[in-house]
Structure 1
C-alpha cells in the first residue's frame, strides 16, 4: 500500500538548476563557498563561484555550446568542477560527469550513450581523453582543468572579458529538460545514463531542506567525488544553502580528523503492496524521480511503472510511526532455497568479530540451493581461522544464513571510490577458484 510522507508538501521551483543556484548565492559575496583541503586549503568565495561560472558560460556560448548539447565533466573533486558545471547548465547544456580514473574503453562506453559535444578533462587524464576523442564522432572540443600548452584551460575561460557573453535568454522547461546525465553503478551490467531534469534536482534539494534543518553557517566535509551522485549532491546542497564545503580528493582518516578539527565540520550522514512492518522492495513517486535512462527505453520501463513509481532496488519496511527503514539491496540479496539472505546483514555480523578488519559477502551458484553465501574476509590479526568465523556466524545468525559457500581470506575488499563493495569483482574472484 502507498505510504505518504507526514511532512507538509514542498513548494517546488520552476527555475533551471543554474538559475536556482545563482539566485541562492548571488548576494553571499566574500563568504567562503569551497575549500580544497587536498591542495593546502585553497578556496573560492561565493562571489568567485558566481562570477567565474557566468564567465565560463559566456565562453562556452561563444565556443558553440547550444541548449541540449551534452558536455562531459571528467575530473576529481576540485574548485573548478562547480564552475564548469554551472557554466554548462547556464547555456542550457547537459552535464555528464565521468570518473577520471576510467580507461579509454570505459569512457567510450559512457560517451556512446550520452554523445558529448565538448568535455572538461582533468590534466592528468588528458592522454586518455585524447584517445577517446580519436574513437568517437561526437566530441569536438576539450577544455583542460589544470595546465596545458595544447588545449584551452579553465583559467583562460573564466576571465571577466566573457561576462558580456553570458546567455541571458535560454528557455528551460524545468520538468522536461535534462540537466545532468550521471551513470548508474553498473552493479548488474553495463552502466546506464540516468536522465535527471532540472526539477528532479531542485525538488530533491527543497525536500531535503524542508525536512533537515541546517543553517548556512554550517561547514560540510566531503571526500565523495563530485562525478558521483554522493559528491555531486553534497555540492548542490552546500551551494544552495550557502554553506562552506571542504572537499577532499581521497579519503584518509587522519586527514579527515584534522579537517574536522580545523574547520569545525558537522556530521552528515512479488509486486504486491505491503502494509506496515512488512519487508519488501521500496517504490517511490515524486518530482525527484528521474526521467529515465537515456537511449534505453526497455530499462526505463523495467524501472519506472506506467503511473510513475520508481523501483528503487532497496529492501525495507515502514513501521507503525510511518518511519521508513532500508535494510538491503534487492539485486544483492542471496536466494538460498526459498529464503532470502542479506549480504549486508552477514557483513554487519562478521564485522563484530574482533579479529576481522573487513568483509564482503556474495552468493555463489549452487545446483541444489540456488545460491550459497560466501564471505571474503580481511584479517585484523593473523591467527584468525575459518572455523573462528563460522562459529561466530553460527552464534549470531539463523541456520539458513550460514556461510555454506565458504570463507576466503583476502588482503583487501574491492570497493568503488565511494566505498561501495564491488560485488561483481568478488564474484569474479569466486569464479576463478
Structure 2
C-alpha cells in the first residue's frame, strides 16, 4: 500500500511469525517481592557469598545479608516507618546500600533508588511527586540532601528520617547505629506490612533523563 511517498506493508500476524522459547512459560507468583526474596534466600546455603563489592572487596554471605536486613528493618520500625513511607537511597554502590534495599523489600515499603550522579535540581523536582521519605545517603552526598531539606522546611511533605551509610555524621543517623538498634531482632512476617502484589508499588525506577528531567517508573510487586 502506497501513501504518498511512504510504503506501508501489511502483514497478518499468526503463530507462524512468533518466535517462542522451547522452555515452559514461567508463571509469575502472586506474592510480594520481599516474600519471594526471603524464600529464595532461605533455600541457599547460609555461608554462600551473595553480594560482593568489586571496588572495595567487601562481601556478604546469605546469613550476613539476612541478619543485617532484619536489623535495619527492625530499627526503622522502631523509628516509626509506616507502609505509606518510601525508602529513598541516594548513595554510591556499597554492601550497606544493598542491605538497605533488601530491608525495604522485607518491610514491604516502596523503594526508590536514585542515581548518585543526580543533582540538587533533579532531586528537588522529585520531591513534589513523593510522599514521606526515609532517606539513606552517603557522607559525600549528604550535603545535597541537607540542601533540599533546608529549602522545604515549611512544607508538609518532609523527609522524615535520614541515615548515612558510611562513617559517623554530626546530623544524620549512622547506618551502624541502626544495626545496633535492631540487632538480635527478627520480623514477625516478611513482608512486615501487608502487601497487595498487583496494586502496591515495590520499586520506583528513574528513567535516563536524556529527554529532560528523569521520570519515575512505577513497578508493582507482581
TM-score, normalised on structure 1? 0.43
Match of 2:197 among 170, 174, 191: 174
Matches within 5 A, 1:203-282: none
Alignment partner of 1:152 out of 173, 176, 197: 173
**Quick one: structure 1 residues 45 and 174, their matched pair in 2 at CA, closer, same or farther if it must change by over 3 Å?**
same
Aligned residues: 198
Tell me how far 1:163 sits from its aligned partner: 4.3
1:187 to 189, 193, 210: 210
Specify the alignment match of 1:6 in structure 2.
Answer: 20
**Would you say the 8 A contact 1:43–1:79 is kept in 2?**
yes
Q: Is the 8 A contact 2:87 2:111 kept in 1?
A: yes
Question: Contact 1:113–1:193 (CA<8 Å) still a contact in 2?
Answer: no
How far apart, in 2, do the equivalents of 1:47 and 1:129 lie? 32
Change (3 A) 1:81 1:147: same
Cα 1:11/1:109, change in 2 over 3 Å: same
Of residues 87, 91, 95 in structure 1, which corresponds to 2:107? 91
Pairing 1:197–2:220 present: yes
Higher Rg:
1
Task: Specify the alignment match of 2:49 in structure 1.
Answer: 32
| Distance in 2, Cα, partners of 1:193 & 1:133 | 21
Q: Cα 1:58–1:5, aligned 2, differ >3 Å: closer, same or farther?
A: farther
Question: Which residue of 2 is the match for residue 339 of structure 1?
Answer: none
Structure 2 gap ranges (5+): 1-12
Check conservation: 2:84, 2:131, Cα contact below 8 A: no
Matched ranges for 1:316-335 at <5 A: none
User: Is residue 44 of structure 2 the alignment partner of residue 44 of structure 1?
Assistant: no
Displacement of 1:196 in angstroms is 0.5
Counterparts of 2:121 and 2:212 in 1: how far apart (Å)?
Answer: 15
DSSP 3-state at the match of 1:164: coil
Alpha-carbon distance, 1:133 to partner: 1.4
Partner of 1:129: 145
Q: Quote the offset at 1:192 in angstroms.
A: 1.4
Please state how far the C-alpha of 1:124 moved relative to its aligned partner. 0.8
Q: Give, in angstroms, the shift of residue 108 of structure 1.
A: 0.8
Distance 1:189 1:103 in 2: 13
What is the TM-score normalised by the length of structure 2?
0.81
Looking at both structures, which has the greater relative contact order when contacts are Cα pairs under 8 Å and sequence separation is at least 6?
2
Q: Report the Cα distance in structure 1 between the residues aligned to 2:215 and 2:54, rounded to whole angstroms.
A: 32
CA contact under 8 A between 2:70 and 2:182: conserved in structure 1?
A: no
In structure 1, the residue matched to 2:119 is: 103
Is the alpha carbon distance of 1:165 and 1:23 closer, same or farther for their aligned partners in structure 2, counting shifts above 3 Å? Answer: closer
Quickly say closer, same or farther: Cα 1:165–1:28, change in 2 above 3 A: closer
